[in-house]
């Protein structure tokens, strides 16, 4: 059974303009420092990233983004400013990487090349229409890799400003929740049609029955077992075991987008061990909040360490990058900045491209640090590795990964 997902469409109204003059015929570089240069194509890639972020920050993402404001600044200016700052941070990272005597190994370069090739295969037409070449994309991912390395050299285990275990664990305890739950749908699982009044009444009565048993003190695992018998097929029952402690535990960040907001709110506010009953447009829920202990919680903590470290120190790292920038001489190409502007992006190709690339789990890029969702090179060889063995909560199918360090056995699905 799947909870209906709300898809945020990328608002492109008013931005379907040609990209004439923004390809190879325009200025070839945007910024440089010493022997390092950021090409116009890489800058345009940053513009695309910043535009994607802007879509989620404007008041109405379904209207023309560039006609709106972000934090009191015209969105077009905000996008350009963010992109220019990303360019300067890119140069700062390259400079620091060299000053510290750090170099990409052949294995790391192979990973960057492989990732670039994969992304280029998917987005070749869209990126090409926006003046971004495969080499521009490779430079972007290589710099992300360098950024990851510097970040973990600074804050990771044995780093210059290592973040202690106590601080990481404290963040986990404050920002993650563990629960068991079950759901009774307000729709027909076979047809996905909404239930009529009688069907809704029956679904509510079923959920309230489980809830009342939980209130009476019955073991929630036993209640879940009965729920499974009533809702799982024979094949599902045969493949679903309760051999491990906490087999039904679902541990997720309080801010995850993989779980309905009403679920996060209700469980976050609940007392540990006290059953709760609530509903949304799709389900009746019965849940019990649990302590952050047990195998699933422990596994989630280990897999989420990198995400937590990013949450704790990303702002510090950005400030450090900006400090590096202040100590550098960076030449900006004003002609290029005037030529490559947000209003000249050609985003129409996005409408016909349903593929998406998620941020590699545990990775940190300049754009990722700044809150963007663009893909970045893996940080697995940058001092930390995060093996996100999590599954999409309330989706009813185990094994689908999330990028926020959450784990679930999909008990109530």
Q: Identify which of 184, 190, 224, 216 has the alpha carbon closest to the alpha carbon of residue 202.
A: 184
| Mean pLDDT for the stretch of residues 192-210 | 97
Position 142 pLDDT exceeds 60? yes
Q: What is the DSSP string of 61-118?
A: TTS-GGGSEETTEEHHHHHHHHHHHHHHHHHHHHHHHHHTT----HHHHHHHHHHHHH
The per-residue pLDDT for 349 is: 57
**3-state secondary structure labels for all residues of 199-243:** HHHHHHHHHHHHHHHHHCCCCHHHHHHHHHHHHCCHHHHHHCCCC
Q: What strand order describes the sheet that includes 250-253?
A: 275-279, 283-290, 176-185, 250-253, 407-408
Quick check: 340 and 30 in contact, CB under 8 A? yes
What pLDDT, in 10s, does the model give residues 350-359? 544 433 333 3
Position 112 pLDDT exceeds 70? yes
| Mean pLDDT for the stretch of residues 127-153 | 96
The per-residue pLDDT for 406 is: 65
| Mean pLDDT for the stretch of residues 227-231 | 91
What is the total residue count of the chain? 413
| Mean pLDDT for the stretch of residues 237-251 | 82
User: Do β-strands 69-70 and 36-39 pair in parallel, antiparallel, or remain unpaired?
Assistant: unpaired
Position 235 pLDDT exceeds 90? no
Which of the four pLDDT bands, split at 50, 70 and 90, describes residue 404? low
Q: What is the DSSP string of 149-174?
A: HHHHHHHSTT-TTPPPHHHHHHHHHH
The per-residue pLDDT for 371 is: 35
Q: What is the DSSP string of 115-138?
A: HHHHHHHHHHHHHHHTT--HHHHH
Position 170 pLDDT exceeds 50? yes
Q: How many CA atoms lie within 13 A of 225 on its CB side?
A: 9
Position 64 pLDDT exceeds 70? yes
Question: How many CB atoms within 10 Å of residue 325?
Answer: 17
What pLDDT, in 10s, does the model give residues 44-58? 999 999 999 999 999
The per-residue pLDDT for 8 is: 29
User: For all residues of the chain together, what is the average pLDDT?
Assistant: 83
Quick check: 69 and 16 in contact, CB under 8 A? no
Q: Write 390-396 long-range contacts (CB < 8 A, 24+).
A: 390/300, 390/303, 392/258, 393/250, 393/252, 393/256, 393/258, 393/259, 393/263, 394/3, 394/183, 394/259, 394/260, 394/263, 394/283, 395/2, 395/3, 395/258, 396/1, 396/2
What pLDDT, in 10s, does the model give residues 353-381? 433 333 332 333 433 333 333 333 333 33
Position 132 pLDDT exceeds 60? yes
Position 79 pLDDT exceeds 60? yes
The rounded percent of the chain whose pLDDT value lies above 70 is 78
The domain limits of the chain are: 29-166+299-369, 174-295+391-408
By mean pLDDT, which of 115-124, 289-298, 352-361 is the weakest? 352-361
Instruction: Estimate to the nearest angstrom the gap between the alpha carbon of 363 and the chain centroid.
Output: 10
Position 107 pLDDT exceeds 90? yes
Position 193 pLDDT exceeds 50? yes
Which of the four pLDDT bands, split at 50, 70 and 90, describes residue 348? confident
Tokens (6 digits) for 309: 């470290």
Dist. CA 152–CA 85, nearest whole Å: 22
Position 218 pLDDT exceeds 90? yes
Written out in words, the top-level CATH class of the domain with range 174-295+391-408 is: alpha beta
Q: What is the DSSP string of 334-361?
A: HHHHHHS-GGG-B-GGGGG-----PPPT
Q: Identify which of 162, 90, 48, 29 has the alpha carbon closest to the alpha carbon of residue 318.
A: 90
What's the whole-model pTM score? 0.75
């Amino acid at each position: 059974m799947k909870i209906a997902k709300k898809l945020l469409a990328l608002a492109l109204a008013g931005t379907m303009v040609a990209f004439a003059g923004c390809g190879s015929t325009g200025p070839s570089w945007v910024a440089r420092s010493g022997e390092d240069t950021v090409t116009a194509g890489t800058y345009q890639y940053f513009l695309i990233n910043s535009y994607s972020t802007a879509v989620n920050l404007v008041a109405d993402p379904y209207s023309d983004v560039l006609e709106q404001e972000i934090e009191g600044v015209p969105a077009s200016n905000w996008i350009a400013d963010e992109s220019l700052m990303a360019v300067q941070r890119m140069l700062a990272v390259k400079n620091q990487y060299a000053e510290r005597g750090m170099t990409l190994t052949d294995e790391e370069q192979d990973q960057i090349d492989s990732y670039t090739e994969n992304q280029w295969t998917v987005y070749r037409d869209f990126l090409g229409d926006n003046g971004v070449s495969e080499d521009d994309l490779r430079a972007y991912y290589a710099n992300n890799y360098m950024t990851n390395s510097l970040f973990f050299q600074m804050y990771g285990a044995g780093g210059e400003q290592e973040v202690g275990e106590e601080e990481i664990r404290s963040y986990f305890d404050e920002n993650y929740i563990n629960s068991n739950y079950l759901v009774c749908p307000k729709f027909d699982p076979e047809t996905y049609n909404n239930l009529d009044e009688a069907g809704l009444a029956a679904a509510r009565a079923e959920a309230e029955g489980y809830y009342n048993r939980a209130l009476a003190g019955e073991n929630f695992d036993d209640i879940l077992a009965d729920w499974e018998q009533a809702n799982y097929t024979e094949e599902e029952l045969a493949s679903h075991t309760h051999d491990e402690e906490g087999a039904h535990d679902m541990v997720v960040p309080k801010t995850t987008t993989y779980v309905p907001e009403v679920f996060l709110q209700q469980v976050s506010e609940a007392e540990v061990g006290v059953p709760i009953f609530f509903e949304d447009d799709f389900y009746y829920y019965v849940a019990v909040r649990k302590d952050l202990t047990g195998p699933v919680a422990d596994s989630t903590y280990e897999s989420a360490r990198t995400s937590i470290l990013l949450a704790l120190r990303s702002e510090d790292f950005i400030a450090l990058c900006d400090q590096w920038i202040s100590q550098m001489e960076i030449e900006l190409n004003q002609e290029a900045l005037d030529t490559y502007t947000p209003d000249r992006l050609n985003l129409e190709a996005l409408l016909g491209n349903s593929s998406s690339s998620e941020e590699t789990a545990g990775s940190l890029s300049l754009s990722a640090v700044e809150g963007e969702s663009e893909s970045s090179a893996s940080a697995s060889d940058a001092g930390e590795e995060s093996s996100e063995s999590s599954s999409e909560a309330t989706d009813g199918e185990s094994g689908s990964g999330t990028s926020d360090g959450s784990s679930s056995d999909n008990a109530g699905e």
